[in-house]
């Protein structure tokens, strides 16, 4: 393997990932140091109260609209301090799926529209509905699994902490956040870098391609789809999401498939292809924020919930829309 190829495939992506994680940690630390956690958590208070989650979960939910790394860092810190139980951590992480969806919505929408045209609105609308269903499910699950919150506001503990700390200047907050950053970034990168390198070589050795190829070869279970629509699923599973979009766009342009079949194929491809890719891309930095075993559990839970919600939406679209 040439040095230039190694840099393009491993070196630069790893540097970019490390910078992203570092920026997320720094943002989270600065927000904590400025005592903005209370204001951020208050935005999500009605939903948090319904789900019986704690104040830090509300802050993490709101932060996930801007940075998934920062949101997970808040949860990890609270869990390590004993402020969140294992069950509360898992539910809080799953609860962040809606803001995480909105974080990536602009890039996804502007990628899909050129390929699908008006069908893009249907596809994106259905994926948005699945994200709303996931959040609703977690709210209901929280009400069943978690004990009632104490009387009063969800963010009261944060109010007390803010009063105890007093107001900080930007300079003081920056110094404190940098000190916390230096303490945390080493631990994060100690896990992230070697795991990312391992995943890179597993991918280069064809391990993930073999698994994706297995899924593509067993697409016969999708006999309820139009035969031409199967090609969209195969491209999406065996290659990348863009390949599936390109196939879908070509079939739509040639009027070889109705819009409904194209959207259904993209949703099915989404269910089959995303979990493996999510693990491949998420596990390195998840294992840097959480312990590897816990990171695996969180990713598995989020992908199972995500796949389940898309299956529900796909079934509703298949049976209810003519």
pTM to 2 decimal places: 0.75
Enumerate the H helices of the chain as residue ranges.
3-6, 12-33, 37-43, 45-51, 55-63, 68-80, 86-95, 97-116, 119-145, 156-165, 170-204, 207-217, 227-238, 241-253, 259-289, 292-320
The least confident of 81-85, 210-214, 280-284 is 210-214
Mean pLDDT, rounded, for 140-158: 73
pLDDT number for residue 32: 65
**Tens of pLDDT, residues 251-263:** 887 787 899 999 9
pLDDT number for residue 131: 94
What is the C-alpha separation between 40 and 61, in angstroms, rounded?
9
Mean pLDDT, rounded, for 172-179: 76
pLDDT number for residue 92: 94
**Tens of pLDDT, residues 80-135:** 989 899 999 999 999 998 888 887 888 788 878 888 888 999 999 999 999 999 99
* Domain residue spans of the chain: 35-167, 206-321
What is the C-alpha separation between 13 and 11, in angstroms, rounded?
6
Q: Specify whether the CB–CB gap between 127 and 87 falls below 8 A.
A: no
**Tens of pLDDT, residues 299-313:** 999 999 999 999 999
- Cα dihedral 225, 243, 302, 199, rounded to 10, equals 130
Q: What is the DSSP string of 85-124?
A: -HHHHHHHHHHTHHHHHHHHHHHHHHHHHHHHTTHHHHHH
**Tens of pLDDT, residues 64-79:** 877 788 788 889 988 9
pLDDT number for residue 103: 79
What is the C-alpha separation between 57 and 78, in angstroms, rounded?
9
């Amino acid at each position: 393997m040439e040095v230039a190829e190694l840099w393009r495939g491993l070196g630069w992506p790893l540097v970019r990932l490390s910078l992203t994680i570092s920026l997320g940690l720094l943002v989270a630390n600065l927000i904590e140091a400025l005592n903005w956690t209370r204001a951020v958590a208050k935005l999500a208070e009605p939903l948090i109260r319904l789900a019986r989650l704690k104040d830090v979960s509300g802050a993490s939910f709101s932060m996930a609209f801007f940075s998934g790394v920062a949101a997970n860092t808040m949860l990890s810190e609270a869990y390590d301090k004993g402020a969140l139980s294992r069950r509360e951590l898992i539910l809080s992480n799953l609860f962040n799926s809606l803001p995480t969806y909105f974080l990536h919505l602009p890039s996804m929408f502007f990628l899909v529209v050129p390929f699908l045209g008006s069908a893009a609105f249907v596809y994106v609308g259905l994926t948005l509905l699945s994200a709303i269903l996931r959040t609703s499910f977690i709210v209901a699950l929280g009400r069943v699994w978690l004990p009632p919150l104490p009387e009063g506001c969800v963010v009261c503990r944060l109010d007390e902490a803010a009063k105890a700390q007093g107001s900080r200047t930007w300079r003081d907050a920056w110094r404190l956040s940098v000190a916390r950053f230096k303490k945390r970034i080493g631990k994060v990168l100690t896990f992230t870098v070697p795991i990312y390198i391992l995943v890179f070589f597993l991918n280069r050795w064809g391990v993930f391609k073999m698994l994706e190829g297995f899924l593509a070869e067993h697409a016969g279970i999708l006999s309820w789809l139009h035969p031409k629509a199967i090609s969209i699923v195969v491209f999406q599973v065996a290659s990348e999401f863009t390949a599936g979009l390109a196939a879908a766009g070509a079939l739509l342009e040639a009027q070889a498939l109705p819009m409904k079949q194209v959207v259904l194929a993209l949703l099915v491809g989404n269910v089959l292809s995303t979990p493996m890719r999510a693990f491949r891309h998420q596990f390195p930095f998840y294992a840097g924020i959480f312990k590897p075993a816990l990171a695996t559990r969180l990713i598995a839970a989020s992908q199972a919930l995500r796949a389940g919600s898309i299956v529900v939406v796909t079934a509703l679209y298949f049976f209810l829309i003519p």
